[in-house]
Amino acid sequence: MTRLLSLILALLLPLAAHAQGGGERKPVTILISIDGFRADYLDRGITPNLSRLAAEGAHGKLRPSFPTKTFPNHYAIVTGKRPDNNGIVGNNMIDPRRPGVRFSLGDPKQSLDPFWWDEAEPAWVTANRAGVRSATMFWPGSEVEIHESRPPDWLRYDEHVGYAQRVNTVLDWMRRPADIRPAFVTLYFEAVDDAGHKFGPDSAEVNAAISEVDTRVGDLVAGLTAMGQPMQMVVVADHGMRAIDESRVIQLADLIDLPSIVAVETGPYAAIEPAAGTDDRVYKALLKPHDHMTCRRREELPERLHYGRNPRVAAIICIAEPGWSILAGVPTWPVKGGAHGYDNQDPEMLALFVANGTGLKGDVGIVDNIEVYPLLMRLIGVAPLPSDATGELANRLR
């Protein structure tokens, strides 16, 4: 009897939801980022929800853009432009037009200033202009008024907002009347990256974070299904994660006296400016061969990195051998656990890609993360702006 009852309910619920929503529900496109979800985490057998979306839909591995950091890659995914062209060339960066100022993701005075973001236009801005309503449950850049526009619904990033609350916020948006219901939504989770940094990619803590986020993705799908809301899901990560330790450290202080450089970024890669632009000693000391690290002038980086033409890229870029850390003096963070930022050819930097919806089927292999943009734009029905993407992923998933 109870089984019969639940069967009847299952049949009636979507109808009730349909009536409540008023009219046929159009599919919503949901872009989820699981920060630092390395591509192979999906093979750990601990992600029933993501694995089901992948098995019934499309999956592959995203090659991040260099540098394999959070802000440059989140912006690449929603603009289709690599960091050199989207303007977010690092989590930390400088600009010759703003002498003495440094952008860093923890400093809202700079990170919320459109000056840094205006070199590209994220999908939600283009969508809104085309009349497709967007809502962002966190995404780097979504708090910023880019090209004089913010998503109609957005929230100031706060890592303390719980994951159930994030999912419920999205579900609440979808319960709205059709005229103010979003058609494109972003959702962001940081726990897998946080645990990866603190405990390393092979830790029990990372697995716990993976399970937690997977459960929340399941809750979202269940909630949307219960309200009869059709969905197109695109689940990505910005980069992978690699184990680091104190025994694999390159100390810049051993190569050059630290006051003669400004280290804009250190870790898996270092972005270095000579403190006095004309100081040839810095170039001499850094540009020679080193163990476990390659340093180049920004004009001489390998073409495949597509990096160095933007004036925000520091004069010298040093890239550590995967697993090694470049330090400038005593680090402000412990050199243990995990890190990312290495060459984007490093297989451990590869990131999650799962898509589920009409026409989204099969294994797409390894694709550059800028290719997500044309796919997204097709799913939300808005013409993409010119970008660095070729459209190969969008063409493949038809």
Phi, psi of 54 (to 5 degrees): -70, -45
Q: Binding string, 132-171, against ligand AMP, x = CB under 6 A?
A: ------x-x----------------x-x------------
Q: How many Å apart are CA 50 and CA 44, to the nearest integer?
A: 11
Among 95, 113, 194, 219, binds ligand AMP (CB under 6 A): 194
Return all residues near 232 (Cβ < 8 A) that are at least 6 apart. 27, 28, 29, 30, 355, 356, 357, 358, 360, 379
Q: Per rule CB under 6 A, is residue 105 in the interface with ligand AMP? A: yes
Closest CB 102 distance from Zn ion, rounded Å: 19
∠ CA 319-325-327, nearest 5°, is 95
Instruction: Kindly tell me which of 70 and 229 has the beta carbon lying closer to ligand AMP.
Output: 70
Closest CB 12 distance from ligand AMP, rounded Å: 40
Interstrand relation of 269-274 and 261-265 (parallel, antiparallel or unpaired): antiparallel
Q: Is the peptide bond before 96 cis (omega within 30 degrees of 0)?
A: no
Phi, psi of 119 (to 5 degrees): -75, -10
Closest CB 276 distance from ligand AMP, rounded Å: 29
Q: Binding string, 146-185, against Zn ion, x = CB under 5 A?
A: ----------------------------------------
Q: Per rule CB under 6 A, is residue 193 in the interface with ligand AMP? A: yes
Q: Per rule CB under 6 A, is residue 265 in the interface with ligand AMP? A: no
End-to-end CA distance of the chain: 43
Instruction: Kindly tell me which of 241 and 295 has the beta carbon lying closer to ligand AMP.
Output: 241
Q: Which does 163 bind (CB under 5 to 8 A by kind): Zn ion, ligand AMP, none?
A: none
Instruction: Kindly tell me which of 190 and 371 has the beta carbon lying closer to ligand AMP.
Output: 190
Q: Per rule CB under 5 A, is residue 265 in the interface with Zn ion? A: no
Closest CB 382 distance from ligand AMP, rounded Å: 23
Q: Per rule CB under 6 A, is residue 116 in the interface with ligand AMP? A: no
Q: Which does 140 bind (CB under 5 to 8 A by kind): Zn ion, ligand AMP, none?
A: ligand AMP
- Picking from 305, 369, 377, 304, the residue whose alpha carbon sits closest to that of residue 76 is 369
Instruction: Compute how many residues bind Zn ion; rule: CB under 5 A.
Output: 5
Q: How many Å apart are CA 348 and CA 212, to the nearest integer?
A: 22
What residues are labeled active site? 70
Q: How many Å apart are CA 335 and CA 326, to the nearest integer?
A: 10
Instruction: Please report where in the chains the tokens 């999912």 appear, as a residue.
Output: 167
Instruction: Kindly tell me which of 229 and 266 has the beta carbon lying closer to Zn ion.
Output: 266
Site for ligand AMP in 36-75 (CB under 6 A): 69-70
Q: How many Å apart are CA 357 and CA 113, to the nearest integer?
A: 35
**What is the three-class DSSP state of 232?**
strand
Closest CB 379 distance from ligand AMP, rounded Å: 23
Q: How many Å apart are CA 61 and CA 367, to the nearest integer?
A: 6
Binding window for ligand AMP (CB under 6 A); candidates: 41-49, 122-130, 187-195, 249-257: 187-195
Instruction: Please report where in the chains the tokens 């930097």 appear, as a residue.
Output: 349
DSSP 109-156: HHHT-HHHHTTS--HHHHHHHTT--EEEES-TTTTS-BTTB--SEE--
Among 84, 193, 343, 346, binds Zn ion (CB under 5 A): 193
Closest CB 341 distance from ligand AMP, rounded Å: 7
Q: Which does 25 bind (CB under 5 to 8 A by kind): Zn ion, ligand AMP, none?
A: none
Site for Zn ion in 70-109 (CB under 5 A): 70
Token pair for 31: 């872009």
Q: Per rule CB under 5 A, is residue 111 in the interface with Zn ion? A: no
Q: Per rule CB under 5 A, is residue 35 in the interface with Zn ion? A: yes
Contact of 239 with 36, CB cutoff 8 Å: yes
Q: Which does 91 bind (CB under 5 to 8 A by kind): Zn ion, ligand AMP, none?
A: ligand AMP
The single-letter code of the amino acid at 168 is N
The one-character DSSP state at 100 is T
Instruction: Kindly tell me which of 104 and 345 has the beta carbon lying closer to ligand AMP.
Output: 104
What residues make contact with Zn ion under the rule CB under 5 A?
A: 35-36, 70, 193, 238
What residues make contact with ligand AMP under the rule CB under 6 A?
A: 35, 69-70, 91, 105, 138, 140, 157, 159, 190, 193-194
